[in-house]
Each structure stands twice: as structure tokens, then as C-alpha cells.
Amino acid sequence: MKVARLAILPLVLLAAGCGTSGSTDAQASAQPAAPWVQVSSGSRTPSPVVTYTGSPRPGLPPVSFLPTSTACAIGWPDADQVLIPMVVTPGAGSFSVQWPNRFGNTYRITAVPQELVSGAQPDPVWQTVTTGAECNASATITGLQSGKPYIIWLDAPDTPRGVDGSRSLYSGKTGVVRPK
């Protein structure tokens, strides 16, 4: 019985604290309550104007455009394609490869043999190509077997990213080509 009385005691004390402090409901309704939201009229202020100094916007990479000259005379397809376009010229046991220089300054290129090999496939031998400001990049792949089938792979590992974070084209691939 004592346990039940101890459990009821906090409820009684809590209910006693919920009453009005000496005022009645009639007194409280006679005085209007202050509104919960107060609105005051003001005047319009102009929108802030943000100005940047230095680069166009902080955090964005600098913008560079391809130079326009007769060296850029190759009509490369639009960049809406999936792969970096290439022009391959077969030579004696070699290929000369050209591509548009707009996907970074470092490229990797290789010629992958297409003849069947039993067992583990050999790793491709990549050649690193560093470019400058010219419109077209080029490389020569040598040491190939004349008349044998190859596919040329091009990789642009440091391809630039767009403002939205998407990458530019970062690889290219030819069909089967054969050196002379």
C-alpha cells in the first residue's frame, strides 16, 4: 500500500503545478493575448552582388581554349562521342597516331596484339606522351610485327572535369589495324 501512495504523490504534485497562479480563467480572457507572430513592414533591399577577383570563380579550374591555326585543320568529330577520336597511319612495323589535344597534357598509348594467345594474355606496354599547347597530339608506336592485327588504345588519365564534376573523354580505341 505504501508503494502505491509513493507513486501517486509525484502525480499530485505535478497536477498542482499546472494550475493558474492565483488568476482565474475570467481574468485571463479579459486581457487580449499578444500575437505569436509579429510582422512589421519595411523596405526592399537590393540583392547582393558578388564580385570575384582573379580567377572566374573560386574553386573552378582555369579555362583554356585550343589555339586556332592551320595546324588545327583536322576536322575532329564533336566531343559528344564516347571515345577520343584518332587518326592512325600504318608504317613499317609501326603506327603514327594523332588525336585532338584537349583532354589533358598527359596521355598513355599502346598497341594491343589481336592474335589468339593460349593462357594468360600479356600485359600491354604503355607509352607515356606529354603534350604542349599544340592542337593535335601525336605518338609513334614501333617494334610491331608487320601485317599482324592490333588495336590501338589511348588513355587520358588526367582528363579535365567539367563544372558539374563530369569527366571529359578519357579513352580512345581503334578498330583492328595492321602495320605495313
CB 140 within 8 A of CB 95: yes
Average pLDDT score, the chain: 76
Q: Which position has the higher pLDDT, 165 or 67?
A: 165
**pLDDT for residue 67:** 46
In a domain, 76, yes or no: no
Contacts 24+ apart (CB under 8 A), 81-85: 81/169, 82/169, 83/169, 83/171, 83/172, 83/173, 84/154, 84/156, 84/169, 84/170, 84/171, 84/172, 85/172
Give the model confidence (pLDDT) of 117-144 as tens digits. 899 888 999 999 999 888 899 999 999 9
The model carries a pTM of 0.56
Its domain, for residue 103, covers 92-177
User: Does 75 have pLDDT greater than 80?
Assistant: no
Confidence label for 26 from pLDDT (cuts 50, 70 and 90): low
Confidence label for 48 from pLDDT (cuts 50, 70 and 90): confident
**pLDDT for residue 49:** 74
**pLDDT for residue 57:** 52
The CATH number of whichever domain residue 125 belongs to comes to 2.60.40
Q: Which position has the higher pLDDT, 43 or 8?
A: 43
In a domain, 150, yes or no: yes
Confidence label for 80 from pLDDT (cuts 50, 70 and 90): low
In a domain, 130, yes or no: yes
**pLDDT for residue 70:** 56
* Domains held by the chain: number: 1
In a domain, 132, yes or no: yes
Residue range 107-123: mean pLDDT, rounded: 91
In a domain, 81, yes or no: no
3-state secondary structure of 54: coil
Q: Name residue 155's amino acid.
A: D
In a domain, 117, yes or no: yes
Q: Which position has the higher pLDDT, 140 or 68?
A: 140
